[in-house]
Amino acid sequence: MPVDPADCKVVPADLDGCFPDDFYSSTNFRTQVRLKGEWIDVEDQEMDCGIVIDPEGTAARCIPMTEVRKGYQIVVGHAGVRVFPAETEVKRSLFEFMASPVSSEKPKGVTVREIARAMERAKKAGEKILAVLGPAVVHTGGVEPVTRLIRGGYVNLLFAGNALATHDIEQALYGTSLGVSLDRGLPADEGHEHHLRAINTMRRLGSIAKAVEKGVLKSGIMYECIKHQIPFVLAGSIRDDGPLPEVITDVLAAQTEMRKQIPGVGFCLMVATMLHSIATGNLLPGWVKVGCVDINPSTVTKLMDRGSTQTVGIVSDAEPFLRSLAQELGV
Amino acid sequence: MPVDPADCKVVPADLDGCFPDDFYSSTNFRTQVRLKGEWIDVEDQEMDCGIVIDPEGTAARCIPMTEVRKGYQIVVGHAGVRVFPAETEVKRSLFEFMASPVSSEKPKGVTVREIARAMERAKKAGEKILAVLGPAVVHTGGVEPVTRLIRGGYVNLLFAGNALATHDIEQALYGTSLGVSLDRGLPADEGHEHHLRAINTMRRLGSIAKAVEKGVLKSGIMYECIKHQIPFVLAGSIRDDGPLPEVITDVLAAQTEMRKQIPGVGFCLMVATMLHSIATGNLLPGWVKVGCVDINPSTVTKLMDRGSTQTVGIVSDAEPFLRSLAQELGV
Amino acid sequence: MPVDPADCKVVPADLDGCFPDDFYSSTNFRTQVRLKGEWIDVEDQEMDCGIVIDPEGTAARCIPMTEVRKGYQIVVGHAGVRVFPAETEVKRSLFEFMASPVSSEKPKGVTVREIARAMERAKKAGEKILAVLGPAVVHTGGVEPVTRLIRGGYVNLLFAGNALATHDIEQALYGTSLGVSLDRGLPADEGHEHHLRAINTMRRLGSIAKAVEKGVLKSGIMYECIKHQIPFVLAGSIRDDGPLPEVITDVLAAQTEMRKQIPGVGFCLMVATMLHSIATGNLLPGWVKVGCVDINPSTVTKLMDRGSTQTVGIVSDAEPFLRSLAQELGV
Amino acid sequence: MPVDPADCKVVPADLDGCFPDDFYSSTNFRTQVRLKGEWIDVEDQEMDCGIVIDPEGTAARCIPMTEVRKGYQIVVGHAGVRVFPAETEVKRSLFEFMASPVSSEKPKGVTVREIARAMERAKKAGEKILAVLGPAVVHTGGVEPVTRLIRGGYVNLLFAGNALATHDIEQALYGTSLGVSLDRGLPADEGHEHHLRAINTMRRLGSIAKAVEKGVLKSGIMYECIKHQIPFVLAGSIRDDGPLPEVITDVLAAQTEMRKQIPGVGFCLMVATMLHSIATGNLLPGWVKVGCVDINPSTVTKLMDRGSTQTVGIVSDAEPFLRSLAQELGV
């Protein structure tokens, strides 16, 4: 036998413009309160208000905090209040406040920690960590933290394009990225030519690997990959200049090479590239966890729209994210 | 007497698919090369290519790196090459590559350093530093670095709204921001009610200042402002819940109070608020330098569209930016 | 007694690089196929592939279309294939492809039709239609379609701010919006002063209503509201110039007025204003349907993050949306 | 001999809270007014205010409209007022109000007209019009207006990728785009497989052209291109499924083909594709006018950052833009 539900509890406001301490905080869902054994509809339904009971104790309405006057009968606690759809369902939706995966309004420290823990778990489990990186990693100044991740064993496979590798090498050779000095933030003299000269230098030497071997390329993401024998796939795109010798210009051949490298991947970190992120998302099985970081919410939205639902989307800036991640991983 | 301009210098390609080392790197502007004393139009004009001279030495065209074959006559250096509009004008525009103020593809370290230097200069000059902050500062986890800036003397005046102060106080009282735990990144139980309870608590005590005095509010941005006697203006907006007792609900009264505080401001840091940033931009004289940080490029674009041209726009994430800034300032 | 499930059906590929017509199209979820009565794991799991069975009929793997060779045994139909989580669950998630509410990649014609039908239903039911409009309605050229909606009876209540009304009046008096000519798209001479002169003119006359009465204001959104006795609430914000005489500068007073007008609203159309949309979302009961149109996906995301889950978010441009809507409604 | 500049003209305010009709409207630049033959600094410099002269006629300050009281001496006209930097320079910058190329807050009708006029000029001059289209053209419902542009002779060359062509063909065969019904805006049953089945069908037939010839493909963008012998280049990308038979999977081969088609192009319309827009921008000479339409401001920003400065950027939605353009061109 169901227990007869209690009436809602009301206490008089003790201060103008304030609720009593344990006030019931309203939602925008249809709500009823139990008064004298009857379920009464709450009027003026509005979220983030309290509920006031009229002096006769027969009617209830939402009231904003500022309109409360001393002596008003305010509902406190959750007893004798019900919302439609059922409270649990409402709660779930309320608990999803701010829970959309692509909001930029999320605590960033905790997100970095979560990604770091997932990477540590993958490493410990002997699974490969795949990094998918776009050129904004370099433009924003993220080369240094990525090299720390590589040296620390947190990148076991790299998927990228001509642009990431070119600007990484441009930075190693000239200190600029797309001609912009990464020290001074200003365009360097003739800087817009640097990326093309960087590509040309690699092509003249025959490969990036040769450039490392000959001591021409002495730092950066590509340098570390070669030094630490991290396999990489540089997939071509129609906006490529050059391209670098290692770039696979046939996109089907590039896909094939990516497919070949994917088995064993346990975590995938995508940073600042819509093209390569969606391409990799297309290839990954659904149980591989993915962290996708982009300053543009639409990259994450599109990735998830296309079925990569295992993705944790993080709307944030490439360099600060990577720097915090490297720090969190202690590399 | 003007010196007769030299012909352009050409050297044969020594490798397939590569330019000679000092190759002329093309733009997409109309270009001529001087051959046998005549200015010849370059055909197939395209940016980021080289220029190849035909075997007869009478015609020139742009050639992508990949199409170069050994023996092709490639233009090197800048002599004997001219572009229309004049090279200097082109250069300026080329130097502005990546120089749009609102791109997210900028080196972030150097931007942080620049803002830090501007704040140090203002402090040294005895000018006030004005911080204009939106609630995403709290949501992303930026309370801690802001409190370090305040304690370090780098915030002398705060303009914000009910939301920033509410979520800052919510975090101090409940450890959440809009109900999301800043430690775990997940919605807390009943967390969506926290901001309203935080407001109610302040209203019951009479003011934020009273809450500090009575030991109820013990940390956060508002706490530090009150402890260090940093003046603040909390301007009301129609989306406010509550609001907090210190919020000025009449927008003209709020503007008046902001105007009163502005004299003496030498630098203004705006983070993650379009409403308050544009409002402050409306009030500031044009010679006060402004740094505006927002993850949404349109905030910066709109600020500048409305005439606040002294603004350095930074498309980045609130918390990581503030953390790096606090570190750069050594606070 | 459950029927013994059949083996999966396979047919040999008849063409290189193509699947047979009824091929099973893979997801990225864990999948098994039934071969000789045994459930076998599909290897190389990848979305948007087919499944090939090895010649012995004992193993299965995903295969991209392009790698198919004539004679390969390809799975067709859905019999003998199962995915984990259960197919129905997967299906639901797959059916939500492109189903995120804030994507800009949605068919716009059908969205306009849906909003139009909802407005017609509300009108027929005698419910009020509330329009919440931001200044970009005017900047993009949307005044004309809005006036048609008003005259056609599809706007019964208007919530906006000083900016919408100011630029609407600026356009009526000067043909510009924020100084930009709406005919030529170029800044008008001294155009940046127009909005201030428009406000000053209204203030000198005492009110917008007086300006209509005296024949000074002869067109536009505010004109039509006054002519057709559509109630409006102009809520102040701290970025306001002026403001116009009808603007309620106290935000609590403005909220109170908005609350007073909301009962009876059956549909709410929000266009191009984050501030007023969230403010209105805060006040509306959860069962009032909302269409929120903004070119910036984050406005819609934020609205829904804050609990206005009854919202249909439409990432689109103000003027073209309003023009199509007016046309769809036949006004 | 320079004429002695006049003093500024002042008139008393005749109404509280209002300026006289011809009031001088302030900027945020340093300003002086001439009083009794002396240039006096204006205090409290702020944009969008008036200037009040103190009763003694020896000091001047900016005053917001709302603070004006009857009898205040307000500066009118421009005589005797000077700003630093010089007025002309200021004016230029003021005239650029709202003039940033990537704002979404622009009158859309006039932008459409401008693009239409440029296309008409190109057509009349016998120049080719190049369309560069992304898949959101199809997703948003833009196939129909594009087919009208093709039939009307306003598209003479098409650059796109596998996705645009696939979803166009998917729509022709199944009425969906990425599985979403373009009539009902909802995901169709098994709709997520449609794009793969569409590709497979084309591959089985050998080419899109064959599908048109055999009557399998009877409408859409690709159909119209084939019917009207519009050359197209479909360039491959690593995120391609399939791809369609006509897709050039080697990106260098695709670039070569694009280069071959570019001579003779007089206008280029880019809609909803960052990859193909930047790729085409890389290839086009600087004097070919470009209109780039994208709902995401960063596409336009990036295109211009990379040197395609001849671009008119339009932040708008694909389908409504194309529909208005088709209407404006009368096709």
pLDDT digit string, tens, across residues C254-307: 999 999 999 999 999 999 999 999 999 989 988 888 999 998 877 877 777 666
Please say whether the beta carbons of C284 and A283 come within 8 A.
no
Residue C104 has a pLDDT of: 66
Cβ-based contacts of A210 with chain B (< 8 Å): none
Smallest Cβ–Cβ distance between B106 and the set A104, A139, A192 belongs to A139
Query: Best of B103, B104, B301 to disrupt the D interface by mutation (most D CBs within 10 Å)?
Result: B301
D47: confidence class by pLDDT, cuts 50, 70, 90: confident
Please give the average per-residue pLDDT across D4-33, as a whole number. 90
Per-chain mean pLDDT for chain C: 88
What SS3 state is found at B128? strand
D205 pLDDT above the threshold of 80? yes
Q: Is B74 exposed, middle or buried (0-12, 13-18, 19+ CB in 10 A)?
A: buried
Contact C105 D296 (CB under 8 A): no
Residue D302 has a pLDDT of: 78
C19 touches D: beta carbon within 8 Å: yes
Cα separation, D179 vs C48, whole angstroms: 13
Cα separation, C90 vs A226, whole angstroms: 40
Residue A316 has a pLDDT of: 87
D272-310: b (≥16 Cβ within 10 Å) or e: bbbbbbbbbbbbbbbebbbbbbbbbbbbbbbbbbbbbbb
What's the pLDDT tens digit per position in C110-126? 888 889 999 999 999 99
Contact C97 A305 (CB under 8 A): yes
Smallest Cβ–Cβ distance between A47 and the set C46, C256, C307 belongs to C307
Cα separation, A22 vs A27, whole angstroms: 16
Q: Is the peptide bond before A5 cis (omega within 30 degrees of 0)?
A: no
Cα separation, D220 vs C329, whole angstroms: 27
B258 touches C: beta carbon within 8 Å: yes
CA A289 centroid distance within chain: 13
Please give the average per-residue pLDDT across D285-297, as a whole number. 88
Please say whether the beta carbons of C30 and C84 come within 8 A.
yes
Contact B251 C240 (CB under 8 A): yes
Please say whether the beta carbons of C324 and C109 come within 8 A.
yes
Instruction: Please give, rounded to a whole number of angstroms, the shortest distance from the CA of A214 to a CA of chain B.
Output: 17
D238 touches C: beta carbon within 8 Å: no
Please say whether the beta carbons of C276 and C235 come within 8 A.
yes
What's the pLDDT tens digit per position in D237-259? 999 999 999 999 999 999 999 99
Give B261 or A28, the one with higher predicted confidence.
B261
Please give chain B's pLDDT, 331 residues, in tens. Answer: 445 678 999 999 999 999 998 999 998 888 999 999 999 999 998 888 999 999 999 999 999 998 999 999 999 999 999 988 654 444 333 333 333 445 666 778 888 888 999 999 999 999 999 999 999 999 999 999 999 999 999 999 999 999 999 999 999 999 988 777 777 776 777 777 899 999 999 999 999 999 999 999 999 999 999 999 999 999 999 999 999 999 999 999 999 999 999 999 999 999 999 999 999 998 998 888 899 999 887 787 777 766 655 678 888 899 999 999 999 999 9
Residue type, B76: V
Query: Best of B49, B196, B249, B328 to disrupt the A interface by mutation (most A CBs within 10 Å)?
Result: B196
Residue A91 has a pLDDT of: 37
What SS3 state is found at C236? coil
Cα separation, A319 vs B106, whole angstroms: 10
Cβ-based contacts of D179 with chain C (< 8 Å): 95, 97-98
Cα separation, C68 vs D258, whole angstroms: 29
C100 pLDDT above the threshold of 60? no
Residue C225 has a pLDDT of: 98
Smallest Cβ–Cβ distance between A251 and the set D178, D192, D240 belongs to D240
Residues β-bridged to residue B35:
B38
Please give the average per-residue pLDDT across A177-184, as a whole number. 77
Phi-psi region of A321 (alpha: psi -120 to 50; beta: other; left: phi over 0): alpha
Give the residue on A whose Cα is nearest the Cα of D255.
A238
Instruction: Please give, rounded to a whole number of angstroms, the shortest distance from the CA of A260 to a CA of chain C.
Output: 10
Contact D44 B263 (CB under 8 A): yes
Residue tagged 């599109």 (tokens): A302
Contact C46 A297 (CB under 8 A): no
Q: Is the peptide bond before D243 cis (omega within 30 degrees of 0)?
A: yes
Residue D96 has a pLDDT of: 37
Token digits for D286? 């600087």
Give the residue on B whose Cα is nearest the Cα of D255.
B64
CA distance to D52, D55, D79, D121, per residue, from D33 (Å): 10, 15, 9, 49
Residue C3 has a pLDDT of: 54
- Residue/partner pairs of D310-315 with CB below 8 Å, 24 or more apart: D310/D286, D311/D101, D311/D281, D312/D101, D312/D111, D312/D114, D312/D115, D313/D101, D313/D102, D314/D106, D314/D108, D314/D111, D314/D115, D315/C295, D315/C317, D315/D102, D315/D103, D315/D104, D315/D106
C-alpha closest to that of D66 among D134, D138, D14, D17: D17
Cβ-based contacts of A255 with chain D (< 8 Å): 238
- Residue/partner pairs of D40-47 with CB below 8 Å, 24 or more apart: D44/B259, D44/B263, D45/B285, D45/B286, D46/B259, D46/B282, D46/B283, D46/B284, D46/B285, D47/B282, D47/B286, D47/B307
Instruction: Please give, rounded to a whole number of angstroms, the shortest distance from the CA of C306 to a CA of chain B.
Output: 9
Cβ-based contacts of B163 with chain A (< 8 Å): none
D225 touches C: beta carbon within 8 Å: no
D301 touches B: beta carbon within 8 Å: yes
Cα separation, C192 vs C188, whole angstroms: 8
C178: confidence class by pLDDT, cuts 50, 70, 90: confident
Residues β-bridged to residue D161:
D235
Please say whether the beta carbons of B6 and B61 come within 8 A.
no
C238 touches D: beta carbon within 8 Å: no
A322 touches D: beta carbon within 8 Å: no
D2 pLDDT above the threshold of 70? no
Cα three-residue angle D235-D239-D245, rounded to 5 degrees? 45
Residue type, A72: Y
Contact C105 D178 (CB under 8 A): yes
Residue C298 has a pLDDT of: 78
Token digits for B140? 């992303």
D261: confidence class by pLDDT, cuts 50, 70, 90: very high
Give the residue on A whose Cα is nearest the Cα of B17.
A203
Give the residue on A whose Cα is nearest the Cα of C47.
A282
Q: How many beta-carbon contacts under 8 Å exist across A and D?
A: 68
What's the pLDDT tens digit per position in A214-244? 999 999 999 999 999 999 999 999 999 999 9
Cα separation, C1 vs A151, whole angstroms: 59
Taking the alpha carbons at both ends of chain C, their separation in whole angstroms is: 62
Cβ-based contacts of C301 with chain A (< 8 Å): 100, 102-103, 297
Smallest Cβ–Cβ distance between B28 and the set D98, D252, D307 belongs to D307
| Cβ neighbours, 10 Å, residue B287 | 12
A230 touches D: beta carbon within 8 Å: no
Please say whether the beta carbons of A293 and A316 come within 8 A.
yes
C-alpha closest to that of A47 among C283, D279, D284: C283
Interface pTM, i.e. ipTM: 0.84
C283 touches A: beta carbon within 8 Å: yes
Residues β-bridged to residue D35:
D38
Cα separation, C179 vs B93, whole angstroms: 27
Residue type, A208: I
| Cβ neighbours, 10 Å, residue B56 | 7
CA C297 centroid distance within chain: 9
Output the pTM of the full model: 0.86
Q: Is the peptide bond before B85 cis (omega within 30 degrees of 0)?
A: yes
Residue B147 has a pLDDT of: 98
Contact B238 C235 (CB under 8 A): yes
Please say whether the beta carbons of C316 and D272 come within 8 A.
no
Cα separation, A294 vs A281, whole angstroms: 15
Please say whether the beta carbons of C302 and C126 come within 8 A.
no
D91: confidence class by pLDDT, cuts 50, 70, 90: very low
C251 pLDDT above the threshold of 70? yes
Phi-psi region of C133 (alpha: psi -120 to 50; beta: other; left: phi over 0): beta
Instruction: For residue C312, give the H/E element and its range.
Output: strand C311-315
Q: Which residues contact D278 (CB under 8 A, 6 or more apart)?
A: A239, D302, D303, D306, D308
Cα separation, A289 vs D292, whole angstroms: 36
Contact C239 B275 (CB under 8 A): yes
Residue D100 has a pLDDT of: 46
Cα separation, D194 vs D171, whole angstroms: 9
C-alpha closest to that of C167 among C143, C151, C188: C143
Which of A78-92, C51-65, D103-117, D137-151 shows the lowest mean pLDDT across its residues?
A78-92
C-alpha closest to that of A331 among A125, A108, A154, A141: A154
What SS3 state is found at C139? helix
Residue C96 has a pLDDT of: 37
What's the pLDDT tens digit per position in A109-155? 888 888 999 999 999 999 999 999 999 999 999 999 999 999 999 99
Query: Best of D203, D315, D328 to disrupt the C interface by mutation (most C CBs within 10 Å)?
Result: D203
Cβ-based contacts of A100 with chain B (< 8 Å): none
What's the pLDDT tens digit per position in A55-96? 999 999 999 998 999 999 999 999 999 988 654 444 333 333
C-alpha closest to that of D64 among D43, D79, D47: D47
C327 touches B: beta carbon within 8 Å: no
Residue tagged 């899109």 (tokens): D208
Share of chain A above pLDDT 70, in %: 90
Instruction: Please give, rounded to a whole number of angstroms, the shortest distance from the CA of B26 to a CA of chain A.
Output: 9
Query: Best of B83, B84, B258, B283 to disrupt the D interface by mutation (most D CBs within 10 Å)?
Result: B283
Residue A93 has a pLDDT of: 36
Q: Which residues contact C185 (CB under 8 A, 6 or more apart)?
A: D106, D107, D110, D111, D114
Q: Which residues contact A304 (CB under 8 A, 6 or more apart)?
A: A101, A102, A311, A313, C100
